[in-house]
């Protein structure tokens, strides 16, 4: 089609033949839409995940992906204290590991 347009003197517009515009501006009636592509991709990924888990019967599978903001911070003082204790233990372990590494290197830092 482009060659024919080129030979007939339509060289100025030959580059546009066979291309219906930018891919984001295509009509949903003309071509596939991104919604359709997202839906197909999501279904494919879900099927792959379920197959990896060994689930063949997908009729009983319910996907829950609704996230709501609940709040910031700890739910109770006990949770806060537990998190602080875990952080202190982690810092102590990092310091101990760093000290042991420095001793093994002969006191050099790096």
The tens digit of pLDDT for each residue in 7-60 reads: 877 777 666 666 555 555 555 566 667 788 889 998 899 889 888 988 887 777
Could you tell me if residue 107 is inside a domain? yes
Could you tell me if residue 106 is inside a domain? yes
Per-residue DSSP letters for the chain?
-HHHHHHTT-TTTGGGTT--S-GGG--TTTS--HHHHHHHHHHHHHHHHHHHTT----TT-----------SS-SSHHHHHHHHHHHHHHHHHHHHHHHHHHHHTTS---
Could you tell me if residue 104 is inside a domain? yes
Quote the number of domains for the chain.
1
pLDDT of residue 31: 64
The pLDDT tens digits of the residues spanning 78-104 come to 999 999 999 999 999 999 988 888 888
Could you tell me if residue 103 is inside a domain? yes
Could you tell me if residue 83 is inside a domain? yes
pLDDT class for 62, splitting at 50, 70, 90? Answer: confident
Could you tell me if residue 47 is inside a domain? no
81: domain range?
76-110
Could you tell me if residue 84 is inside a domain? yes
pLDDT of residue 86: 96
């Amino acid at each position: 089609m482009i060659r024919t347009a080129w030979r007939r003197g339509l060289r100025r517009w030959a580059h546009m033949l066979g291309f219906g515009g930018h891919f984001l501006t295509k009509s949903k009636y003309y071509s596939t839409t991104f919604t359709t592509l997202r839906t197909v991709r999501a279904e494919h990924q879900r099927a792959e995940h379920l197959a990896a888990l060994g689930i063949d019967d997908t009729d009983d599978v319910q996907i829950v992906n609704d996230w709501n903001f609940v709040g910031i911070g700890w739910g109770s003082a006990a949770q806060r204290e537990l998190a602080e204790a875990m952080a202190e233990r982690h810092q102590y372990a990092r310091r101990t590991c760093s000290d042991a590494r420095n001793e093994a290197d002969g006191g050099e830092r790096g």
